[in-house]
Amino acid sequence: MDFRIRPATPDDLDAAAALFDAYRQFYGQPSDIAAARAFLAERIARGESTVHLAWHGNDAVGFVQCYPMFSSVRMKPIRVLNDLYVDASARRGGVARALLDAAADTARDAGAARIVLETTRDNIAARALYRAAGWEEESTQWYARTLV
């Protein structure tokens, strides 16, 4: 598949919101394009995340979103790859791998010491992709507490 990856701009919000909405639906959330667009617009405007889009012709077919964080131990910035989604029409064509690489390159260029992500143990396809892309699976135990 012929595609290109580039950082999202405010002009890309409609395309990014459609993908973000599909991603959220994949995780069982109801569709809400307006809220998805507003959420992404705010993150981009405030510099609170980096979003890259994969384009096939004039169609956005995937995205990755990373958030900044810091490592107190390393005293350096790190990045959390929080969202990765590729439209079903573009899967198995190298888009996800290219998005992972773009996220890592952008994190490195920003001086991040590390980039991390989390996925479920039963997401076999994603785990295989991450390992093939050079990510190391760690046995760290994560804990979560829902606040809202």
Distance CA 27, CA 35 (A): 16
Backbone phi, psi, residue 131, to 5°? -65, -45
CATH number of 56's domain? 3.40.630.30
| 124 assigned to some structural domain | yes
Radius of gyration (C-alpha) of the chain in whole angstroms: 15
Report the chain (148 residues): mean pLDDT per 10 consecutive residues. 93 97 95 98 94 97 97 93 95 95 95 90 88 84 62
What is the pTM assigned to this prediction? 0.90
Instruction: Provide the token pair at 92.
Output: 């198995």
137 inside domain = no
Domain membership flag for residue 84: yes
As a whole number of angstroms, the distance between CA 20 and CA 15 comes to: 9
Number of domains, the chain: 1
**What is the enclosing helix (H) or strand (E) of 4?**
strand 4-7
> What is residue 143's predicted lDDT score, i.e. its pLDDT?
66
Residue 147 lies in a domain: no
Nearest to 49 by CA among 114, 113, 120, 110: 110
